[in-house]
């Protein structure tokens, strides 16, 4: 390990920039490895001092001291892993591969330390402030779930498992990114792009040019469904794009199957070593769901009605296909295209008409930011003097209603070769009154980048994604907690999606929609009848959307409910296991594949959602109920926004999250609003 960090390393001291924004203008790739190593060494020394303190354990010298420890490591880790996820290079990926197992071992050294646990156990639970009492409870739970009670031999096996798992997670993410880049579909005949609007063609041409190719490159998004499938009139091109999407990681130079099988097996063994039936049980026991049985009960309760609705939708689409291809069979690559056709016929509206009214900068300023201002009084000012980790990143200072600085928001919206797929939120600085730190948060999307000077036009789904991710950002920005480990989104996986999903509702709010939905050339507002149609069409396609989601969530559960010896050993068995699992769960529809197939299911093999992909629908129960609360309490008002901020957004992980929900709603959540939203009211199907 490293000695003290050189003073000229930008991580050696806390950043002097506003809000502690990492000094990306100074940080270079070579600064990360020594800073990570020095951070681990410094943290170990601090923890050792706590563990060997001769004074009796107190909240201050043990619990609070643990919260204060590891500051160098924490700020380096946040900056490094944000960089790897959003702008990876081969050098950074090599550092990640080297340091990931070291970080796993470092965590084990802390959470398997019986001396630290004994000091925590010696602390009284009574008489503490509520947030401190909750911190003590959660910290003890973390030690127990980490295996501090195991004997020496089992602890050593656990350390080995954690190291292997961390290494394989890194491998999966790296291989999937490479597979996704390689799977991009090159088009050399422009006639095949019939149906692509001008800006989408320009973005595809730019993507090809950026890789030194001639033609148009259709880059893939992380889910199975690709936005290009709704545009392409050329059926063979749709087939090629779909095939490229579902084959990612399934063999070839970047085969993810051996890695994911090893991950499933090792996680299963670890769960049983820790005393749980399987990994799904281990995950659910520490979430708001409480048990894997409760998770599967919800998913299977929703599946029959969702599938029935999807079959109804498929019949409508097959009729539309028949007009173009007499005798043709509806295939999965046809679904998005004909769904748009049917919507256009039924609603006289489709994405090609909407996109010119949904320009990124206007949606951000007059939609996302305007809604936040109306609800919470916050304002935003771009800081051109502050730079992000990539030239495309924009930095905004966020001001509270009283004009005081609240934090920084970084927007990174365009795709690039080194950026993992999907959309997500990261933090670069966690809010904490104990440490006197205010939040710095990042939103990432993967929108095709247009040629310079051209607008970025969004689909309606991308508008919703922008509002969704900003809901996560607000959760981080509005955090008002004492302890850094309780900041913002540091809540259970099946609760963290709740505030972000609530924020989606404001995309539909008529006054907000009227403000941001304006033609990018003329500035004319979206026709009123179109806005009304959008509102009326909210349940269109819910059969497909719910079924593809449930298929992925149930597939995740299937992999992580296995005993170690039951995990397939042959990569060629992955497809068969997937098919059998979907069939057994009642969600095997040929035209509606899972939102993520196993080989590119980064959430559960490369990310933190293993056995927790159910979290989105679980959180949506809370979200739909809260939308009803907003509607009952005036909708888009400061009073309602401030109440939601005080009860939920500001609390972070400083209390039982379900208690925060009950504080807002006055009761436990009810499922009826979710069923109504997704068109699942028919009790015969529930």
Which range marks the domain in which residue 124 is found?
Answer: 18-149
Task: Give the C-alpha separation, 131 to 154, whole Å.
Answer: 33
| pLDDT at residue 102 greater than cutoff 90 | yes
| Residue 90 lies inside a defined structural domain of this protein | yes
For residue 408, report the phi and psi dihedrals to the nearest 5 degrees: -120, 145
* 229 and 373 belong to one structural domain: no
Band the pLDDT of 1: cuts 50, 70, 90: very low
Q: pLDDT, tens digit, for every residue of 251-274?
A: 999 999 999 999 999 999 999 999
Mark which of 149, 169, 195 sits at the end of a domain. 149
* 217 and 132 belong to one structural domain: no
Average predicted confidence (pLDDT) for the chain: 96
Q: Which two tokens stand for residue 494?
A: 């099946």
For residue 293, give every residue at least 6 positions away whose Cβ sits within 8 Å of its Cβ, in sequence order, or none.
none
Task: Give the C-alpha separation, 101 to 601, whole Å.
Answer: 22
| Residue entry with tokens 């980790």 | 389
* 56 and 201 belong to one structural domain: no
What pLDDT does residue 683 have? 40
* 367 and 410 belong to one structural domain: yes
* 369 and 225 belong to one structural domain: no
**With b meaning 16 or more CB within 10 Å and e meaning fewer, what string describes 610-622?**
bbbbbbbbbbbbb
| pLDDT at residue 59 greater than cutoff 50 | yes
Mean pLDDT of 209-237: 96
Nearest to 419 by CA among 448, 394, 387: 448
SS3 215: coil
SS3 527: coil
Query: Rounded to whole angstroms, what are the CA distances from 180 to 92, 232, 291?
Result: 18, 20, 34
Mean pLDDT of 562-583: 98
Mean pLDDT of 60-79: 98
Cβ contact 513:480 at 8 Å: no
Q: Which two tokens stand for residue 195?
A: 């149906």
Q: pLDDT, tens digit, for every residue of 361-376?
A: 999 999 999 999 999 9
| pLDDT at residue 643 greater than cutoff 70 | yes
| Residue 373 lies inside a defined structural domain of this protein | yes
**Can you spell out the DSSP letters for 185-199?**
EEE--GGGGTT--HH
| Residue 294 lies inside a defined structural domain of this protein | no
Nearest to 397 by CA among 24, 82, 25, 19: 19
Of the chain, the end-to-end C-alpha distance in Å amounts to: 57
| Residue 274 lies inside a defined structural domain of this protein | no
Nearest to 338 by CA among 188, 487, 235: 235
Q: pLDDT, tens digit, for every residue of 442-498?
A: 999 999 999 999 999 999 999 999 999 999 999 999 999 999 999 999 999 999 999
* 145 and 207 belong to one structural domain: no
| Residue 334 lies inside a defined structural domain of this protein | no
SS3 8: coil
* 221 and 87 belong to one structural domain: no
Q: pLDDT, tens digit, for every residue of 295-337?
A: 999 999 999 999 999 999 999 999 999 999 999 999 999 999 9
What CATH number is attached to the domain comprising 54? 1.20.1050.40
Task: Give the C-alpha separation, 611 to 370, whole Å.
Answer: 36
Nearest to 162 by CA among 138, 149, 145, 141: 145
Task: Say what percent of the chain tops pLDDT 70.
Answer: 99
| Phi and psi based region of residue 336 (left: phi greater than 0; alpha: psi -120 to 50; beta: remaining) | alpha
What CATH number is attached to the domain comprising 408? 1.10.1370.40
Q: Which residues are catalytic?
A: 469
* 362 and 475 belong to one structural domain: yes
Looking at the 3D structure of the chain, how many domains does it have? Answer: 3
Task: Say what percent of the chain tops pLDDT 90.
Answer: 94
* 143 and 190 belong to one structural domain: no
What pLDDT does residue 187 have? 98
| pLDDT at residue 681 greater than cutoff 70 | no
What pLDDT does residue 684 have? 35
| pLDDT at residue 682 greater than cutoff 60 | no
Nearest to 429 by CA among 409, 446, 414: 409
Tell how many helices (H) and how many strands (E) occur in the chain.
Answer: 27, 7
* Cα 34–chain centre separation: 29
- 457 secondary structure, DSSP code: B
| pLDDT at residue 149 greater than cutoff 70 | yes
Band the pLDDT of 56: cuts 50, 70, 90: very high
* 134 and 193 belong to one structural domain: no
Query: Rounded to whole angstroms, what are the CA distances from 568 to 252, 255, 257, 611?
Result: 19, 16, 10, 17
Angle between helices 90-111 and 71-86 (to 10 degrees): 140
Mark which of 132, 149, 166 sits at the end of a domain. 149
Task: Give the C-alpha separation, 324 to 326, whole Å.
Answer: 6
Cβ contact 313:541 at 8 Å: yes
Mean pLDDT of 189-215: 96
> Over the Cα atoms of the chain, what is R_g?
25
| Residue 13 lies inside a defined structural domain of this protein | no
What pLDDT does residue 686 have? 34
Nearest to 591 by CA among 235, 310, 240, 237: 310
| Residue entry with tokens 């540091």 | 490
Cβ contact 445:493 at 8 Å: no
Query: Rounded to whole angstroms, what are the CA distances from 552 to 208, 366, 420?
Result: 31, 34, 19
* 53 and 133 belong to one structural domain: yes
Q: Which two tokens stand for residue 527?
A: 């026709």
Q: Are strands 394-399 and 405-414 parallel, antiparallel or unpaired?
A: antiparallel
- Beta strand segments in 84-208, E: 185-187
What pLDDT does residue 3 have? 63
Cβ contact 33:103 at 8 Å: no
- Beta strand segments in 372-439, E: 379-382, 394-399, 405-414, 424-429
| Residue entry with tokens 């940080």 | 27
Mark which of 230, 248, 266 sits at the end of a domain. 248
- 446 secondary structure, DSSP code: E
Nearest to 11 by CA among 189, 384, 136, 20: 20
* Lowest-confidence region among 284-288, 341-345, 653-657, 663-667: 341-345
* 194 and 48 belong to one structural domain: no
| Residue 505 lies inside a defined structural domain of this protein | yes
- Beta strand segments in 204-329, E: 216-218
Return the sign of the alpha-carbon dihedral for residues 567, 570, 571, 577: negative
| Residue 464 lies inside a defined structural domain of this protein | yes
For residue 403, give every residue at least 6 positions away whose Cβ sits within 8 Å of its Cβ, in sequence order, or none.
none
């Amino acid at each position: 390990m490293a000695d003290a960090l050189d003073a000229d390393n930008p991580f050696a001291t806390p950043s002097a920039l506003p809000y502690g924004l990492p000094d990306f203008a100074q940080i270079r790739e070579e600064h990360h490895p020594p800073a990570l190593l020095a951070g681990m060494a410094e943290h170990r020394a601090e923890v050792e001092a706590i563990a060997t303190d001769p004074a009796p354990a107190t909240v201050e010298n043990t619990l609070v001291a643990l919260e204060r420890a590891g500051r160098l490591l924490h700020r380096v880790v946040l900056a490094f892993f944000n960089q790897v996820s959003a702008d990876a290079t081969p050098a950074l990926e090599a550092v990640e591969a080297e340091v990931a197992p070291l970080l796993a071992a470092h965590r084990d050294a802390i959470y398997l330390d019986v001396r630290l646990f004994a000091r925590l156990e010696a602390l009284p639970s009574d008489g503490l402030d509520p947030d401190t009492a909750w911190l003590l409870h959660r910290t003890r739970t973390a030690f127990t779930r980490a295996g501090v009670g195991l004997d020496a031999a089992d602890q050593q096996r656990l350390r080995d498992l954690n190291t292997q798992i961390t290494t394989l997670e890194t491998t999966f993410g790296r291989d999937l990114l490479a597979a996704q880049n390689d799977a991009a579909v090159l088009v050399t005949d422009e006639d095949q792009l019939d149906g692509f609007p001008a800006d989408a063609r320009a973005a595809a041409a730019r993507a090809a040019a950026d890789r030194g190719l001639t033609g148009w490159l259709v880059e893939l998004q992380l889910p199975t469904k690709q936005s290009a499938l709704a545009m392409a009139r050329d059926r063979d091109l749709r087939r090629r794009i779909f095939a490229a999407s579902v084959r990612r990681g399934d063999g070839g130079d970047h085969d993810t199957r051996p890695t994911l099988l090893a991950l499933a097996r090792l996680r299963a063994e670890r769960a049983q070593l820790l005393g749980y039936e399987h990994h799904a049980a281990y995950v659910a026991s520490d979430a708001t769901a409480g048990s894997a049985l409760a998770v599967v009960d919800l998913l299977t309760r929703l599946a029959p009605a969702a599938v029935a609705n999807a079959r109804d939708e498929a019949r409508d689409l097959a009729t539309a296909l028949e007009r173009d291809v007499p005798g043709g069979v509806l295939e999965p690559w046809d679904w998005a295209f004909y769904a748009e056709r049917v919507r256009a016929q039924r609603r006289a509206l489709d994405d090609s008409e909407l996109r010119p009214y949904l320009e990124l900068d206007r949606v951000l300023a007059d939609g996302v930011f305007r809604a936040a201002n109306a609800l919470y009084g916050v304002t935003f000012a771009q800081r051109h003097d502050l730079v992000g980790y990539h030239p495309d990143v924009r930095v905004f200072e966020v001001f509270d209603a009283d004009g005081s600085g609240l934090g920084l928001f970084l927007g990174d919206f365009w795709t690039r070769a080194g950026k993992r797929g999907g959309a997500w939120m990261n933090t670069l600085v966690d809010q904490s009154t104990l440490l006197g730190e205010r939040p710095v948060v990042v939103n990432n999307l993967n929108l095709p980048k247009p040629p310079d000077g051209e607008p970025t036009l969004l689909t309606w789904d991308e508008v919703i994604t922008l509002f969704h991710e900003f809901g996560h950002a607000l959760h981080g920005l509005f955090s008002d907690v004492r302890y850094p480990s309780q900041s913002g989104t540091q809540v259970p996986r099946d609760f963290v999606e709740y505030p972000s999903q609530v924020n989606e509702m404001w995309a539909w709010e008529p006054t907000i929609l009227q403000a941001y939905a304006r033609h990018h050339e003329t500035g004319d507002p979206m026709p009123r009848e179109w806005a009304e149609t959008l509102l009326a069409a909210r349940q269109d396609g819910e059969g497909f959307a719910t079924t593809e989601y449930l298929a992925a969530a149930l597939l995740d559960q299937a992999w992580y409910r296995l005993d170690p010896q039951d995990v397939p050993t042959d990569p060629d068995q992955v497809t068969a296991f997937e098919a059998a699992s979907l069939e057994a769960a009642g969600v095997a529809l040929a035209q509606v594949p899972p939102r993520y197939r196993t080989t590119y299911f980064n959430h559960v093999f490369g990310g933190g959602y293993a056995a927790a992909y159910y979290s989105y629908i679980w959180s949506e129960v809370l979200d739909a109920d809260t939308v009803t609360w907003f509607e009952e309490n005036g909708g888009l008002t400061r009073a309602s926004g401030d109440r939601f901020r005080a009860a939920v957004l500001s609390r972070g992980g400083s209390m039982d999250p379900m208690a925060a929900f009950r504080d807002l709603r006055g009761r436990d959540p009810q499922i009826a609003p979710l069923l109504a939203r997704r068109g699942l009211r028919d009790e015969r199907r529930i």
